A and B are shown apart, each in its own frame.
Chain A
Amino acid sequence: MRNFDYQKPAQESEAIRSGQTTGARFIAGGTLLVDLLRLDVEQPELLVDLSALPWRQIEVAADGVRIGALVSNSDLAEHPAILAGFPALSQALLSGASPQLRNMATVGGNLLQRTRCAYFRDVAVSACNKRKAGSGCAALAGYSRMHAVLGVSDQCIALHPSDMCVALLAMDAVVHTRGPDGERSIFLADFHTLPGAHPEIESALKHGELVTHVSLPKTSFSARSAYVKARDRASYAFALASSAAAIDLDGQIIRQARVALGGVGTKPWRCMEVEQALVGRPATREVFQAAAALAMSDARTTEHNGFKVQLARRVIVRALERVGGVL
C-alpha cells in the first residue's frame, strides 16, 4: 500500500480545513477506503480521520429522525425508532455486507459507497472512466452480469451497490452537509449523480465537504415499508436486484406509495411510474404486478444482464406484497 499522512481532527472546523488539502480524503469506518487503498484505486496523500467528531447520535423528534453521519450501520439497523418507523431501512442495512463490516461502516460512508465494478477495482485494467477520466470503459465490452441497466451512459455502466441508499430514497431522506461554503441540505434523490460523460463524479459533494447527518421525515408511508433483495447467495452478497417499497393505505386503497430499486441503477433508482400506477388502487397482487410492469422500461441491458429487467419487476411485486399484507 502506498504511504500517506494522517490527521485526526477533534473539531468539525479543523476537519473541514484539513479536508481542503489537495489529495486529502476523509475516512470514517474505512471498510471501503482501506480496501481501495490496498487495491491502489484510491491514492490519497492525506487521510483525515473523522472518528473523533460527535456525530454518533440518532435523535428522534416528532417530525422525524436525525441520524449522525458516524452512526454505524449496525446501530442504525437495530435502533427501535428505525425498526418501528422505517423498517425498510433496517432490513436494507441488515441485508448488506457482514456483521463485522456493518459494525465498522458508517451512514456517511455508505452514502458514498463506490461501485464494485471489477474493472474499476482492477488497476491493471487501464480503461475505467470512473477511475481515470477519459480512459474508456472496459465493462462495456467485458463481463457485465452485475452491472447497471438504468442510468447508464456510453462512458460507464458501473452499478451503485448500496442497499441503505435505496431504502433512504424511498423514505424521502435528506443529506445534510457542511463545507467551506457553509451548510447544505440535499435530497437523497439529488445526492448521487448519473455517470453521463463524467463517471468520475459520483455525488453532489464537493471536495472537502462533509456529510454531517441524514434526516428522515416522518411520513404516512415509512412505517409500512419493506426491503427485498435478490442475490446469488442467501447472505453477504451484493444485490442482483432489490426493492424498497412503502405504502400508505386507506382501508384497502393505496393513498401514497414509494418504490425504489437497487442492484440495477448507476444510482439508487426511484420508480415514480410505478408509484403513480399504485395510488388510488386497491392493494392486490394484480395491481402490484401491473404497476411493477411499468418499471425498467428505460433499461439498457448487455448480453449478460438482461435478466435484471424481469427480476427487478418481481422484487418490486414481492416488496409490495410484503407491505400490502398480500403475502
Chain B
Amino acid sequence: MSQTATVDHVVAPDSGKGAVDYIRNGKGIVSWLTTIDHKRIGLMYLGSVVLAFLVGGLFALAVRLELLTPSRTIMSAAGYNQAYTLHGAVMVFLFIIPSIPASLGNFLIPIMVGAKDVAFPKLNLFSLYIFWIGALITLSSLVLGGIDTGWTFYVPYSSRVSTTAVVNVTLGAFIMGFSSILTGLNFIVTMHKLRAPGMSWYRMPLLCWALYATSLVQIVATPVLGITLLLLIFERAFQIGIFDPALGGDPVLFQHFFWFYSHPAVYIMILPGFGIISELIAVHSRRKVFGYKAIAFSSVAIALIGFLVWGHHMFVSGQSELAGTIFSFLTFIVAIPSGIKVFNWTSTLWGGSIKLDTPMLYALVFLILFTIGGLTGVFLGMLGVDLHLHDTYFVVAHFHYVMVGGTAVAFFGGLFHWWPKMTGKMYSEKGGAVSAILVFIGFNMTFFTQFFLGSRGMPRRYYNYLDQFQPLHAFSTVGSWVLGAGFALGIVTLLVSLKNGKQAPANPWGGLSLEWQTASPPITENFESTPVVTHGAYDYPLAQGQKEHA
C-alpha cells in the first residue's frame, strides 16, 4: 500500500512484530468476560449496542408499519404505545448514549493518546457489567408487562396511572447511568494523565476533544437523572407525593429535572458524532483540519451552554413566560458552536485530496442530514413557532435528523473507518457504499415526510390519526423499509468481512493519528514501546513533505 509512504517520518514503534494482537491474546469466553483490556471491552460494548440497535430498530419498523393505516393495522393501541416507548427507551438508553463513547471511544482513546489502557481498567470492566445489568433489567420489562409511558416517563401518568412495568425500565436506566458516569470519569482521567510524551492537548485527535466534552456532560448531568428516576420509582412504589399533584406534588418539576439531564444528554449523544465526523473528513481528505481549535472548543462550549437550555422542551408545559423567553434565547446561542463546526468541516474539504471511501460517504450523509436537523431546530427554538410545532411530527422528524442522521450515521461511518483497525479485516467497499446511499435515501423518505405531517398539525404518539394524513404516513412507512435495509446491509457487510475480508494493513486510509501507527488489530498494550509524538494529528502537509506553514 502506497499510503504508508506518507507516514514514514512518524516517530512510532515498528508495530506488530513479536507480540500477539489483542484478539488472539487469550482464548475462550472467560478470557473475554474477565479482560481489562480497553479494546476487548470496547468490542463487547460494540456488540451490545449493535444488538440494542437491532432491537430498537425492530420496534421502529413495527411502529411505522402500524402507522400505515389511520386505525388498527397490526396491533392494538396499547401494543402501539408499548412499541414506540420501547423503541425510544432502547434507542436512547441502550444504543445512542453508550454507542460511540463506550464502544469506539473505549477502543480508541487510549490508542489515540498513546497510552496502554484507560486510567482505571478494572473500573472500565465494572462499567460494562453495570451496563449489562441495567440493560437486562430494562429489557426484562418486555416479558413483565412492557411499558407505555413514552421514553420521557412524564408523571403522573407514569407514577400513578400506567399499569405497565415502569419501574423495571426506570431502574434499568438508573443503573446504566452509573456505567455512563464511570466511563466518562475514566476517559477524563485518561486524557489528563496518560497522554504519551509529546502528545499536547492541541495534538490530540478531535475525537478525543469531543469525547472529553461528552464525558464532562456525563459526569455532571447523569447524577441528576439518577435522582429523578429514583424519585419517580419511589413515587410509583410508595406514592410519596413529590411529583403527583393529587398529593400536593408538582408534575412540571419532574419535567424540569428530567430535561436538566435529558437535554445535556442530547449532547452526550451528538458530541461524539461530531468528533467522528472531524476524523473522517480530515483523514479521507488528507487535509489539515480547518479551525482545529474552533472545533475543539465549540465542543466544550456546547457541553457547557447545553446545561442552560433544558427549558426549551417545556415552552407549552406551564412554565413561566419569562423562563420560556430566557431558555429560547440561550437555545439560539447554543446553535452558534454547532454552526461553526459545520462551516469548519466544509472548509476542510477545500484544498483536500478527497476519496469517497465508505466512511467518507457516511460523513457526507451526516453533513447533509445534520444540517437539516440543526436548521429545523431553529423553528422549534422560536417561541411562537413552537406553539404550533411542539409535540408534533415536526419535532419527531427534527430529533431523528439529529440523532439518527447525526449520531447513528456518524457511528456507522466511524465503524467503517476503524473496522480494519479493530478487526484486521477489510470489508467490501461496494457493500459499504450501497448501504450509505440506501440510508441516505431511506432516511429522507421516512423523516422528511414527517416535517410535512408535523407542520400540518399531526401530533406525535398517535395510534389513530386523521384520515387526511394517510398518504404521507404511508410514504414514511415505505421509507422506513429502505432505511432498515440500508442499516442491515451495512451490518451484514461488516460481518461478512470477518469471514471473507482481506487482511487489513496497519494504515489503510493514510491517517496520521497514533491508532494508524500500530498494527491492525493492535497488540494487547497497543504499542511495542511508548510512542513519542512530534506533530499534530492532522499534519498532512508536513507528512507530504511540504514546508511548515506559519
| Genuine A/B complex | no
- Taking beta carbons and an 8 Å cutoff, which residues of B are in contact with A? none
- Taking beta carbons and an 8 Å cutoff, which residues of A are in contact with B? none
